[in-house]
Amino acid sequence: MNENELTAMAGRYREILRHAVYLVRSLDAEGQLSTGHVSTLNMVANAPARVSDIARNSGIRVPSATEQVIKLETAGLVERSVDPNDARVVLVALTPAGRAALAEANAFRNGIIAKALAALTDAERAAIDAAIPAIAKLNAALSAQ
C-alpha cells in the first residue's frame, strides 16, 4: 500500500469508527451504568488498580478518574484503600455489588451487540472477528505515536 491508499483506508476506518462509537455510547440510555463507569469497573475487575492506572487506561486525566471513582464509591460499587506499600497510592477494588452490577451491564451490552451480529452473514462475522486482533494492534500503534 502506498501513502495515498493508506490515507484512503484511514478515512474509511475513521468513518465506521465514528458510527460505532456513537452506537456504543447510545447503549447507555437503556442501561443503568454509563459506558465510562462500565469501563472503569472492567478495569478493576481482575485486580485492584491505582487511580492513575484507571486514568491512563481510560485515556482521561487523573482528576477525572478520581471523580469517576468517587461516584462509583458513593454508589457502593468500588472501595478505595491506601496502598500499604506506598501511602500516596489509592487502590480501587470492586465490591460484591460492583461485581454483580458489572456482570449485568456486560451481559446487557454484549447481548445487544450479539443480536446485531446475528443479523450478519457468517462471512461478515468472520471478517469482523478476523480483524479484531489487527485492530488491537492498530490501537497499540496509535498509542505508541
Name residues whose C-beta falls within 8 Å of residue 121's C-beta, 6 or more positions apart in sequence: none
Q: Which is nearer to DNA, 61 or 125 (CB)?
A: 61
Among 17, 62, 82, 97, binds its own copies (CB under 8 A): 17
By a kind-dependent CB cut-off of 5 to 8 A, residue 134 interacts, out of DNA, its own copies, none, with: its own copies
Task: CB nearer to its own copies: give 86 or 124.
Answer: 124
Q: Does residue 111 interact with DNA by CB under 7 A? A: no
Which residues contact residue 58 at a Cβ distance below 8 angstroms, ignoring those fewer than 6 apart?
Answer: 36, 39, 40, 43, 65, 68
C-alpha–C-alpha distance, residues 33 and 72, integer Å:
10
Query: Long-range contacts for 58-64 (Cβ within 8 Å, ≥24 apart)?
Result: none
Based on CB atoms, which residue is closest to its own copies, 82 or 127? 127
Q: Which does 63 bind (CB under 5 to 8 A by kind): DNA, its own copies, none?
A: DNA
